[in-house]
Structure 1
């Protein structure tokens, strides 16, 4: 088997573009007139309402509207949990009211740039979409989160 430098370069370039090419954006639309959207991952605030773009996967992130009553991990508030990633099991987002989280403001999410139209809304403390993850297998998918629908 003959292995050339050009073959190695092409293979490496393909691998690098696959890794570097992954990107996801989380966009917030706060229609409440109060509060600050938060995007948190592993106890670190990634965004306080501005668009957040990551070059690579966003795994196990949470979002909520900080109204003054929420803990760092969204305790006491409506929580949106998300993983945005290419390949494997793909992206997955859901709304949670599981204790210590509880209904605080109407909240919803939707994918864009892939899986357009897929999402869920939580309009009251009995929201039927809670606990039901919404999957998306599209690469480089983005997420729009809206508060006070």
Structure 2
């Protein structure tokens, strides 16, 4: 016979496992140079390897460091917010002080297939922000536990 305490503990464990949130970022560097960087709130959280966030991943950028300045200045960046129960949004940005340095692309994994690719400094507005109101560059996903594959070159 189960006690109330055992049932409550089992329910809490089940609820926690159902509510767990996870987002995986994978890097593919085909350039033969540079180091992929993942940065959140002005702090580098990963250099070059896959990264898994156990919770929302907001206000985060990724770039291939080929001699970029602080926070990818002088390089193309991928901006992302990945969240369960809402709208995840990702884009490529060339808004100055960012600029094209290598072909950059991304696509969602685990529930969405949207993505974008910028292969040169003049890639279309539908693929990358060149100025702050180029909203067509954003790709959104509402699937829980979505992730990204970010490819350079």
- Specify the TM-score bucket, using the shorter chain as the normaliser: 0.7 to 0.9
Q: Which residue of 1 aligns with 2:77?
A: 79
Q: Which residue of 2 aligns with 1:111?
A: 108
Whole-angstrom distance in 2 between the partners of 1:91 and 1:18? 19
1:138 aligns with 2:143: yes
Instruction: Report SS of the residue matched to 1:73.
Output: helix
Gaps of 5+ in 1: none
Whole-angstrom distance in 2 between the partners of 1:97 and 1:48? 21
Report 1:1-149 matches (<5 A). Answer: 12-13=12-13, 15-19=15-19, 21-68=20-67, 70-88=68-86, 90-116=87-113, 118-128=114-124, 129-131=127-129, 132-148=137-153
Gaps of 5+ in 2: 130-136
Moved over 6 A (4+): 4-7
Between the two proteins, the alignment pairs up a number of residues equal to 141
Whole-angstrom distance in 2 between the partners of 1:74 and 1:18? 36
Root mean square deviation, CA, Å: 1.7
Which segment is superposed worse, 73-82 or 122-131? 122-131
Whole-angstrom distance in 1 between the partners of 2:122 and 2:14? 47
Q: Alpha-carbon deviation of 1:106? A: 0.4
Whole-angstrom distance in 1 between the partners of 2:145 and 2:56? 9
Instruction: Report SS of the residue matched to 1:17.
Output: helix
